[in-house]
Structure 1
Amino acid sequence: MSTYEAGTGRRGRLLRLGEWCARHCVVVLVLWLLALGGLHVLQSAFGGTYSDDFDLSGTQSSTGADLLRAHDPAAGGTGAQVVLHDAQKPLTDVSGQVDQVVGNLEKLPHVLSAQNPLPSSSSASSTSLSKDGKTGYITVRFDVNPTSLDDSYLDRVDTAVKPLRSAGVQVEYGGPLGELARPETKDFTSEAIGFAVAVVVLLIGFGSVIAAGMPLVTALIAVIVGVSCLGLLAALTTFASVSPTLATMIGLGVGIDYALFLITRHRQLVMDGDDPVRAAGRAVATSGRAVLVSGCTVVVALAGLYVSRVGFIGKLGAAAAVTVVTAVLGALTLVPALLGLAGRRIDRFRVRPPVAEAGAGAGVEQQGGWHRYARRVERRPWWFLLAGAVVVGVLAIPLFSIRLGHIDDGADPTSFTDRRAFDLVSTAFGPGANGPFTLVVDQRSVPDADRSALASNLEKALTDVPGAASVGALQPTSDDALLVGTAVSKDAPQDAGTADLFKRLKDDVLPEGVSGTAADGYVTGTTAAQEDFLAIIAARLPGSSRSWWVSPSSSS
């Protein structure tokens, strides 16, 4: 009796599992198809949505946002823009429709305030209206991140702004509201190209259509099951919008890889004369053990992202781990079932002579190009080590000039409303207006007699700040607890100049303005929260300080 049959440990269990799945292939396939269809139906009915709403508790931008919510709710929350543009006439000609739209927006659920861009009188001016009067934006503040809302809410926003669109005014949505309005991605060209390349590589590697198709089919089924499970989990907790894409990429990669291990071993055993069912069991007992260990290792590595202590990052790892688990399950059950179903016909449709992991018999020299390459490495290891180090070093050169940052709406296609809003605001007000900083000074601990001196010092510190296109005067909140103002960068939100301005305001300008008092200064807003997020990543992930990171929208 072989050790595979006699083993009582993991190998024995894996052997019995592989043989059972191969022998009862129809049952296993039906169970997988039921899981595929059932989970997809459940996900469609009860699954959650993905949102880039995350919390940065403890950061200065989060503290500033919390203060705003507590002392000036209308200025707190998550800000978005409804951008208005009329190329033919000034917006003051449709002031009635503008007033109506502002009122409609204020009545929507989750809206804290909506700021009218038109001046209250003919002699007044507005920072939300361009000099020619043809472009303006309504600043809408929400008590939640709009990206966490569903499409039906967007329909209500469309209804609210309909009077302006009916009057011929172009209306676009900027910021998080624009992200909610982004169309679903339906262009799968890149995925199709990757899938086609995988087919060609597998055909070259296996030389058989059936053998090449199995890894793709099993990995695809396992990933769809995993993504459906992820959708159900999204109903319980918030996952970032990139989570299903990341989970799909990693799940397909490991799923194809794990199936390759098993199919290669199985084909060789069949070539050596084993019964297909027996060969499938032995493949699961040997290569399947490597698959199980590898899958567990990948899951543990992904769970290690929680070491960053950033929930958003940790959940990305958790999302990918879901499809890794389903890929392992697919490799250990679905693959042997398909191998049992194919039997000895696995190499029936050949594009070239089939190749497996054939080994030389006792006393016979191994042949082949890879064997000769391995022998060369064995004879001159230091030369190959040095060559490899040089290649890796050359490939790593760009790392030293990569800047940590986020991508703003200006990188989106012009078919997206947030990109059109971004361009309109940039043209009329300057690129920095797409990502203003909100300055918050907490003066609750400052005696009333000293507050005028504090305001004077802050005004002096905020004059001619390098990199700032404008800095608005700080205004007290209704309860006189805070001083609030706005700073606009000369550069776009993703540019290095904006990041430099943020650091200058946070580390130099505001501390100088409140020095000698008990007041505290904060820089908040969406762009500020993104910068704080990047700082956290740089501090908590070793080696990430020079890595490019695409930051999602913040809840601040």
Structure 2
Amino acid sequence: MSPSHPHTGGRAARGGLRRLGEWCARHFVIVIVAWLVALVALQALNRSFGGEYSDDFALSGVQSQEGLDVLKKHDPQAGGYSSQIVLHDDQPLTGLGSQMATATGDLQKLPHVLSAQNPLTAPGSSSQQSQSQQSQQSAPQKNVGPLSSDGKTAYITVRFDVQPSTLGDGYLPGVDNAVEPLRKAGAQVEYGGPLGELARPAADDRVSELIGFGVAIVVLLIGFGSVLAAVMPLVTALVAVIGGLALLGLLAAAFTFATVSPTLATMIGLGVGIDYALFLITRHRQNLMNGADPVRAAGHATATSGRAVLVSGCTVIVALTGLYASGVTFIGKLGLAAAVTVVSAVVGALTLVPALLGLLGRRIDRFTVRRPVAETEEGADVPQGTWHRYAKRVEHRPWQFLAAGVTTVVVLAIPLLSIQLGHIGDGADPTSFTDRRAYDLMTDAFGPGSNGPLTIVVDQSGVPSSQRSDLASQAQKTLNSVPGASTVTPLTPTKDGDVLLATVYSQHSPQDAATTDLTNRLVDHTLPQAVAGTDAHGYVTGTTAAQVDFRDIVASRLPLIIGVVVGLAFLIILAVFRGLLVALKAAVLNVLSIAASYGVVVAVFQWGWGGPALGVHGRVPIESYVPMMMFAIIFGLSMDYEIFLLSRVHENWMRTKDAKDSVAHALEITARVITCAALIMVSVFAAFIVSDNIVVKMLGLGLAVSVLIDATVVRLLMVPAVMTLLGRHAWWTPRWLDRIMPHIDAEGDHEGGPDGVSAPAPAERERAS
């Protein structure tokens, strides 16, 4: 039996996509009704069985979690998850003794509460502060106990057996009822930490979506002239995202997804959904302008641009699921959440779009605001429009254009050299948030470090009783001398005497780099020295310590994520276009554009260049997982334009074997589509900057800037210049590598026109040339 032709599978896939597109266009009623039924069913199932989104996750194997486990074992009431209820009054709170006792008593009766500390009856902090100041010989410090030195500010520490932010909105009325006596007495009551996060208003992305949609309509009307052609990508993308979010809600019933997951999935789903629909509609309308039958035109668009959508979608999904290489389930699930709406966007583009094209038929350009245009400039069979002339200028001076592009991205990437990863604290939130008001009250009364105390846990269960006194003295002396701490409370044994507890307060806010340094100093140097020569083990735990551990893990695994995503995308581009240098070029240029977008995010948020204008209070670190998420998303999305442009370059190259003219030809017929698609995606992402969630702001700005850079500097300057310099060598691949790689056709190189007549295969065209 003779071996099958290497393109046989590709032809079958092409024929399948053509048949799918034609069937959907011909039976548009069935397809549209099926989509509507699926949406209704998914929404009903999600309302009945869908899960909640939660930021409840733990890192196994890190020292902060080990310390928490030790604490839970030896003193359950001191373990668990803590949150503060901050109180303030113009008069000393000592006059509210009965109300305070009632409030703390009612709080202790709530479900999942382990303990609630009354700040008026808790041990005072003045003696502790005095001891710490004398041992450290530091400047006078603010009181860090539960009651401020002037008695006007206090905080109730409530400990839960679960993360409070996972309890749902229905839990808050019980807390409100418990503290109502204090509010009636005139005290200001604010919720800090996880309780404050639970009390935040539910995220509403409708404003962002409306802004993005409005800009998208304007861009499409100006770019293509047809009202129906402008509305269709928005409708199909919205339908696909609604279905994807409902499916994500059902998955949330079985798996824990972060609260930012639906917003992230909406951002990505809308962006790629509009792009994918736009690619198909543009090709379809050009087929109609060329005189094709609407059904055959839709089938041809699905078999050509639809295949590019399929390859691009797979690339995005691979990049997003590659986040699991971080080894952090929280981050991997963020990628999975975004991948759900990408899948729905691809399915919508390949089925719903052809169905709507069949429904409209030749009426797609009935309502216009200008003369309808599609892929090419007006004019002759040989493209000689604006973009073709521009490409010819690049062809004559490739080094100058390449130097301009590289200089631009390098300058934008400079701030990346000073990036500070960390956790964005409550102090950066709007003052309309109760946790922000609690943060400010704590800072004013107790110092910035009070918002992120570090709990010291010394496990001395393996130390003989006769040596424990010396250990406590040695550990206390070592802790008191740690640089960067404003106050260290005395080490206190648990009830069983096996664990020593103390609290270290930083001189700086929890999100400050100095607090991160203090935490790492305690873990790496101070505690090992404090328990040296004994069988004791020291840990730093608490929310701030866990955030530092998370940051360190993410920072250490970011290079792995970059390597995995770049490697997978490189292999996909190589398999699609059979060009080793083309795939290498795509990987390198995309990394450069991502570095530039990182630089812009650092300048805006960390350096404060425009942060206040975006609603960010002060300078904030870059949320530790944002660079990892941005890399996977941006790298995947940039492949949309890469594949769409290169597929046309490759198509013309296989037909003419003129490498330089192929670049000009591809720019001519794709520049308008890529430019409009990029402007739409930029508007969709940038619209999320109005969100109150700073992480969403950060992602929205970073993704918008990256797409803008990718569609302008990379696609218009660097790609044409590099492709011109590489010439025919861009498509070179060693024969042994070509034999072992799968054959993937991105844009239907072998696909005939809308009339269904197949064109010669590349090998045949090459022999003919």
Task: Pick the TM interval, shorter chain.
Answer: over 0.9
Distance in 1 of aligned mates of 2:205 and 2:125:
51
Query: 1:71-126: per-residue Cα shift (whole Å, max 9, x none)?
Result: 11111111100111122x22221111111111111111111111111136999979
Secondary structure of the 1:100 match is helix
Distance in 1 of aligned mates of 2:125 and 2:270:
63
Q: After alignment, is 194-203 or 374-383 more displaced?
A: 374-383
In structure 2, relative to structure 1, the CA distance for the partners of 1:513 and 1:348 (3 Å cut) is: same
Distance in 2 of aligned mates of 1:429 and 1:158:
24
Deviation at 1:193, TM superposition (A): 2.5
Aligned to 1:24: 27
Aligned to 2:423: 406
User: What is the root-mean-square deviation of aligned Cα atoms in Å?
Assistant: 2.3
Work out whether residues 283 and 301 of structure 2, in 8 Å CA contact, stay in contact via their aligned partners in 1. Answer: yes
Distance in 2 of aligned mates of 1:414 and 1:138:
21
Work out whether residues 326 and 560 of structure 2, in 8 Å CA contact, stay in contact via their aligned partners in 1. Answer: no
Aligned to 2:349: 331
Aligned to 1:146: 164
Query: 1:203-249: per-residue Cα shift (whole Å, max 9, x none)?
Result: 12211111111111100110111011111111111101111111111
Secondary structure of the 1:118 match is coil
Give aligned-pair identity as a percent. 67
- Determine whether 1:458 maps to 2:460: no
- The one of 197, 212, 218 aligned to 1:179: 197
- The one of 601, 623, 635 aligned to 1:550: 623
- Determine whether 1:72 maps to 2:75: yes
- The one of 369, 374, 395 aligned to 1:351: 369
Q: After alignment, is 283-292 or 43-52 more displaced?
A: 43-52
Distance in 2 of aligned mates of 1:480 and 1:121:
19
Aligned to 1:504: 521
Aligned to 1:95: 97
Secondary structure of the 2:422 match is coil
- Determine whether 1:206 maps to 2:224: yes
In structure 2, relative to structure 1, the CA distance for the partners of 1:237 and 1:549 (3 Å cut) is: farther
- The one of 461, 465, 481 aligned to 1:448: 465
Work out whether residues 494 and 501 of structure 2, in 8 Å CA contact, stay in contact via their aligned partners in 1. Answer: yes
Query: 1:429-475: per-residue Cα shift (whole Å, max 9, x none)?
Result: 11110110000011112122221111111111112432111100111
Deviation at 1:41, TM superposition (A): 2.5
Work out whether residues 220 and 230 of structure 2, in 8 Å CA contact, stay in contact via their aligned partners in 1. Answer: yes
Aligned to 1:3: none
Secondary structure of the 1:306 match is helix
- The one of 150, 164, 180 aligned to 1:162: 180
More helix by share: 2
In structure 2, relative to structure 1, the CA distance for the partners of 1:138 and 1:299 (3 Å cut) is: same
Aligned to 1:307: 325
Work out whether residues 119 and 155 of structure 2, in 8 Å CA contact, stay in contact via their aligned partners in 1. Answer: yes
Task: Show the 5 A alignment for 1:237-256.
Answer: 237-256=255-274
Task: Show the 5 A alignment for 1:98-497.
Answer: 98-119=100-121, 127-186=145-204, 188-358=206-376, 364-497=381-514
Aligned to 2:53: 50
- The one of 529, 537, 541 aligned to 1:524: 541
Work out whether residues 404 and 549 of structure 1, in 8 Å CA contact, stay in contact via their aligned partners in 2. Answer: yes
Secondary structure of the 2:486 match is strand
Distance in 2 of aligned mates of 1:198 and 1:34:
27
Work out whether residues 323 and 335 of structure 2, in 8 Å CA contact, stay in contact via their aligned partners in 1. Answer: yes
Aligned to 2:3: none
Distance in 2 of aligned mates of 1:133 and 1:48:
44
Aligned to 2:605: none
TM-score by length of 2: 0.68
Q: Which runs of 5+ in 2 are unaligned?
A: 1-8, 128-143, 563-597, 603-620, 626-692, 694-769
Q: After alignment, is 196-205 or 278-287 more displaced?
A: 196-205
Distance in 2 of aligned mates of 1:474 and 1:182:
36
Q: Which runs of 5+ in 1 are unaligned?
A: 1-5
- The one of 9, 13, 18 aligned to 2:12: 9
Deviation at 1:303, TM superposition (A): 0.8
Distance in 2 of aligned mates of 1:150 and 1:189:
24
Distance in 2 of aligned mates of 1:18 and 1:71:
65
Query: 1:288-313: per-residue Cα shift (whole Å, max 9, x none)?
Result: 11111111121111110000000000
Work out whether residues 280 and 340 of structure 1, in 8 Å CA contact, stay in contact via their aligned partners in 2. Answer: yes
In structure 2, relative to structure 1, the CA distance for the partners of 1:123 and 1:295 (3 Å cut) is: closer
Work out whether residues 537 and 544 of structure 1, in 8 Å CA contact, stay in contact via their aligned partners in 2. Answer: no
After superposing on structure 2, the runs of 4+ consecutive aligned residues of structure 1 that deviate more than 6 Å are: 121-126, 359-362, 543-547
Q: Which amino acid aligns with 1:52?
A: D
Work out whether residues 325 and 561 of structure 2, in 8 Å CA contact, stay in contact via their aligned partners in 1. Answer: no
Q: Which amino acid aligns with 2:257?
A: F
Deviation at 1:162, TM superposition (A): 1.6
Q: After alignment, is 415-424 or 305-314 more displaced?
A: 415-424
Work out whether residues 153 and 445 of structure 2, in 8 Å CA contact, stay in contact via their aligned partners in 1. Answer: yes
Aligned to 2:749: none
Deviation at 1:8, TM superposition (A): 6.2
